[in-house]
């Protein structure tokens, strides 16, 4: 069983992606900088999951301003997290296409070796984003105002092997959600149906035994 991911940027968690090599400390630092902005982290995640995309395609998919998306794509290129692979004439201009060359993830080995203050900021930033998502949904009278939601808290007692098995189960759920998003994008590109913004926050971590009593 592979090593589990300890923390990530603004948009998710997962296990070590073996197909992408860890280059060196500068690559690690660049990835952390890339993930420090929520939109930039989402762009990088899409490039990893969908392959080659242009800023215009990313803008439509993320429903974000094209100028902002273009800026963050160029920033990802500067940080050596993405690279330009193709240009194509479109209505008198050149459309640029990029692919990811880094992943928006921090694996166990990296997490244990980065600066403790940076590691703490990364964890707290991720949890703050999860809280912000809930607050925004509540303010928009979405979560809790209809039946379309899932909220659960699952206090468990497991052994070390069980802990690793549960980590794997959470990773499989994350991968399935990514595949659902990919298939949805394909259907929407054909049907023209609007996107339904959703957020699934997965969290699984050790707690003090007293927490299970609350």
Name, in order, each residue with C-beta under 8 angstroms of 211's C-beta and a sequence gap of 6 or more: 155
Name, in order, each residue with C-beta under 8 angstroms of 111's C-beta and a sequence gap of 6 or more: 5, 6, 7, 119
| E strand or H helix that includes residue 137 | helix 116-139
The mean pLDDT of the chain is 80
User: Looking at residue 10, what DSSP letter applies?
Assistant: T
With bands split at pLDDT 50, 70 and 90, how would you rate the model's confidence at 27? Answer: low
* pLDDT, tens digit, 9 for 90 and up, residues 83-97: 999 999 888 888 999
Closest CA to 156 of 207, 190, 92: 207
The answer as to whether 11 is a domain residue is yes
pLDDT for the residue 107: 67
In this structure, of 13-27, 119-133, 189-203, the range with the lowest mean pLDDT score is: 13-27
Q: Mean pLDDT, to the nearest integer, of 198-202?
A: 85
Reported as half-sphere exposure (CB side, CA atoms, 13 A), residue 107 has a value of: 13
In this structure, of 80-84, 134-138, 147-151, the range with the lowest mean pLDDT score is: 147-151
- The answer to whether residue 213 scores a pLDDT higher than 80 is no
The SS3 call for residue 196 is: coil
The answer as to whether 166 is a domain residue is no
pLDDT for the residue 214: 62
Q: What is the pTM of this model?
A: 0.62
With bands split at pLDDT 50, 70 and 90, how would you rate the model's confidence at 25? Answer: low
The answer as to whether 189 is a domain residue is no
The answer as to whether 157 is a domain residue is no
Contact 2, 13 (CB under 8 A): no
Question: What are the strands, taking DSSP E only, across 39-111?
Answer: 82-90, 93-100, 105-107
The answer as to whether 59 is a domain residue is yes
The answer as to whether 119 is a domain residue is yes
With bands split at pLDDT 50, 70 and 90, how would you rate the model's confidence at 26? Answer: low
Question: What total of structural domains would you count in the chain?
Answer: 1
With bands split at pLDDT 50, 70 and 90, how would you rate the model's confidence at 10? Answer: very low
The answer as to whether 195 is a domain residue is no
What is the domain-level CATH number for residue 35? 1.10.10.10
Closest CA to 121 of 204, 39, 36, 206: 36
The answer as to whether 121 is a domain residue is yes
Helix, strand, coil % over all residues of the chain, rounded to 5: 50, 15, 35
pLDDT for the residue 117: 75
Tokens for 147, please give them.
């039946």
For the CA atoms of 1, 15, 111, 106, what is the dihedral angle to 10 degrees? 150
Residue range(s) defining the domain that contains residue 56: 5-149
pLDDT for the residue 153: 86
Name, in order, each residue with C-beta under 8 angstroms of 53's C-beta and a sequence gap of 6 or more: 46, 47, 61, 97, 98, 99
């Amino acid at each position: 069983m592979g090593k589990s991911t300890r923390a990530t940027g603004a948009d998710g968690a997962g296990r070590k992606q073996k197909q992408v090599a860890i280059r060196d400390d500068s690559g690690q630092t660049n990835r952390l900088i890339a993930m420090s902005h929520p939109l930039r982290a989402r762009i990088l995640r899409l490039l990893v999951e969908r392959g080659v995309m242009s800023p215009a395609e990313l803008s439509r998919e993320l429903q974000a301003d094209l100028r902002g998306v273009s800026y963050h794509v160029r920033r990802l290129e500067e940080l050596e997290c993405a690279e330009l692979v193709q240009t194509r004439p479109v209505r008198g201009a050149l459309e640029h296409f990029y692919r990811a060359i880094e992943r928006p993830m921090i694996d166990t080995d990296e997490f244990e070796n980065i600066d403790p203050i940076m590691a703490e900021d990364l964890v707290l930033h991720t949890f703050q984003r999860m809280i912000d998502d809930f607050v925004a949904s509540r303010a928009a009278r979405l979560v809790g105002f209809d039946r379309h939601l899932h909220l659960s808290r699952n206090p468990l007692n497991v052994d070390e092997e069980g802990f690793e098995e549960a980590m794997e189960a959470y990773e499989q759920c994350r991968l399935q959600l990514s595949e659902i998003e990919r298939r949805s994008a394909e259907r929407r590109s054909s049907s023209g149906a609007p996107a339904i913004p959703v957020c699934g926050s997965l969290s699984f971590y050790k707690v003090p035994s007293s927490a299970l009593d609350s």
